[in-house]
């Protein structure tokens, strides 16, 4: 299975830490991941959040959550978070045309 990072959303309070995390995560939009790379990137995301928590110790810490389909960094006891939305790549265009629509155009 392959995944594509489609969007990064945030409603975290704007500060140096959250702006840096958001801008960095936006670099990965449109990136394709294999299943192994997906979880490897999750570890990297978690490490990045931990490093930013240490670097910006005067801000409230963010806590990560790694799930199939999304990763998030959130503030405890709030609805404030940054989350990365992933979509599974189901098939190629030729496969859609052939296998789903029954047309042999590709």
pLDDT of residue 92: 85
* Cα-Cα-Cα-Cα dihedral sign, residues 46, 68, 24, 19: negative
Question: pTM (2 decimals)?
Answer: 0.88
pLDDT of residue 105: 56
Low-confidence ranges of the chain (pLDDT < 70): 104-106
Condensed to tens digits (0 to 9), the pLDDT of residues 14-28 reads: 999 999 999 999 999
Q: What are the backbone angles phi and psi of residue 93, rounded to the nearest 5°?
A: -60, -50
């Amino acid at each position: 299975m392959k995944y594509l990072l489609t969007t990064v959303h945030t409603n975290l309070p704007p500060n140096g830490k959250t702006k840096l995390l958001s801008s960095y995560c936006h670099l990965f939009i449109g990136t394709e991941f294999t299943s192994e790379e997906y979880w490897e990137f999750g570890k990297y995301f978690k490490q990045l959040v931990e490093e930013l928590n240490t670097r910006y110790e005067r801000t409230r810490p963010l806590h990560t959550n790694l799930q199939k389909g999304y990763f998030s960094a959130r503030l405890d006891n709030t609805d404030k978070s940054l989350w990365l939305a992933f979509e599974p790549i189901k098939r190629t265009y030729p496969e859609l045309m052939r296998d789903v629509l029954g047309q042999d155009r590709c």
